[in-house]
Structure 1
Amino acid sequence: MGFLTKKTLKKNLLYYIGEIIVIVLGIFIAIQLNNWNDNRKIKAEEKKVIKQLLTDLDKEKFVLNSSINGLNKSQEFLKKIIYKSNHKNLDSIYFHIASSFTHFPINAVYVNLKSSGKLDIISNDKIRHDIVNYYEVNYKIYQKLENSHEKFINEKISSYFNSELPIDTALFVNPDLVKIKLKDEKFRKLIIEQISTCRLIKSYLNINSIDQLITVIKNNQTE
């Protein structure tokens, strides 16, 4: 009887141990599957974020190129007047000499990631570092350029036109009066300063930095 009892206990013990192993394995597999599913979701979210960032950067590039084109037109118009004595369309001089640089931020995706503390969703350290560097550094530069240029336009250009060259409701100026004022050294200096300012602003609007960032993202996002 004792022998049977020991045999039965041993059999039951092995059974319970087997049950425990099965349960532990089941829990382990469930955890692994859950982790795999979570990682899959995180990767999917990362790919979505990367795609949105690339879209924002493409839009940023387009907008900055538009700004550069606008600055080029104003700069060339004023250079023809001051350096080549080209007096065509003088009535529209205010459009060019008072044209200021305005930066339109296209960083909604980055701002959302930063404010929500989800920048780490970008797993690649280089991509994350370069994205943060672009928005944090360049946007501060763009803001300073915008503020400085606006101040120059308001305090010098607009002030001069208000007192010396009346503008009509359509922002046009009497071309004959402009010809006379072109002999004014102060007016000529303002034109030259606007030309130089346009050139300076363009030098900071480095489209290559966006192209480089886009290349870095595309080359490293699958790593």
Structure 2
Amino acid sequence: MIKFFRKIRQKLLQQNKVGSYFKYAIGEILLVVIGILIALSINNWNEAQKAKQSERVVLKNLIQDLRADSLAFNDNLDILSKINNLHQALYEIGVKGMDLEIEDPNLIRRLIYYNPIAIKNDPFVADKISNESIRKEINTYSRYLKDLDITYLEYAELLEKRVRVFLANNKVHQLANWFENKDSRIKEGTPFEFVDKAGLFLLSKSPEFQQLLLEVSIKTKNTASNIETVLIQNQNLKELIQKELKLK
């Protein structure tokens, strides 16, 4: 092709057709420019397609993480609800003198498993999303998670450093039930009483324990409330992402 154009230019020069030569040269330049522009357009289109595919993968990974977090948060709420019920029962037993039965005294020292993965797996995920609405909702979700992080850490610190220590100091742990049990794992539905129920009932009448119960009840309910807020935002974000994936 280059040789073909060169022969035409040489022929025009040999025929002393300078004007025609310049017109032809300009036309040839325009053809080259158009070719370059077409090549750039194709390249840009290919890059845009790659970017869309990459963003689609990011969105799919994010929605999987959000679904996993949603399941974990709902489990957390179930456990916190049972813990709150125990706190309420201990208040009514210790302060109001009511004769109540409690199912699982181990819940008094129970700490939920908290390890959200959405956003934390990729802290800069919002920067990889072109949809402004999704970026905004991601940032909101991230902000709510940070608030929950703080609440959870306060709750965990109170439980680990004060409640559990208080229980140990007052000797309400049944060592034999722990060390002689073949499956000594703290989990929902634990079939043995690691915490002595009778000892916990007596402890509930102590003013010192009642004040500690108030504090841990507040932290437990705050944690549950923040989880509920995060779950709502989690659902909003999932719906936006699902809508975006259908459009792409």
TM-score, scaled to structure 1: 0.81
Percent identical: 22
Give, in angstroms, the shift of residue 24 of structure 1: 1.5
Do the aligned residues in 1 keep the contact of 2:151 with 2:222 (CA within 8 Å)?
no
Structure 2: gaps of 5 or more residues:
1-13, 93-97, 179-192
Match of 1:121 in 2: 128
Question: Partners of 2:30 and 2:56 in 1: how far apart?
Answer: 38
- The number of equivalent residue pairs is 211
Match of 2:233 in 1: 209
| Alignment of 1:52 onto 2:61 | yes
Q: CA 1:179–1:15 in 2, change beyond 3 Å: closer, same or farther?
A: closer
For residue 194 of structure 2, give the secondary structure of its aligned residue in structure 1.
coil
Do the aligned residues in 2 keep the contact of 1:97 with 1:194 (CA within 8 Å)?
no
Structure 1: gaps of 5 or more residues:
none
Do the aligned residues in 1 keep the contact of 2:134 with 2:241 (CA within 8 Å)?
yes
Give, in angstroms, the shift of residue 101 of structure 1: 4.2
- Pairing partner for 1:157 from 160, 163, 167: 163
Amino acid at match of 1:103: Y
Match of 1:107 in 2: 118
Question: What are the Cα deviations for residues 75-94 of structure 1, in whole angstroms up to 9, with x where unaligned?
Answer: 123323432532344xx42x
Match of 1:197 in 2: 219
| Alignment of 1:172 onto 2:181 | no
Give 1 or 2: higher helix fraction. 1
- Pairing partner for 2:144 from 105, 119, 138: 138
Amino acid at match of 2:84: Q
Give, in angstroms, the shift of residue 166 of structure 1: 3.7
Match of 1:181 in 2: 203
TM-score, scaled to structure 2: 0.73
Q: What is the alpha-carbon root mean square deviation over aligned residues?
A: 2.6
Question: Partners of 1:173 and 1:133 in 2: how far apart?
Answer: 40
- Which has the higher mean CA deviation after the structures are superposed, 31-40 or 55-64? 55-64
| Alignment of 1:24 onto 2:36 | no
Amino acid at match of 2:46: N
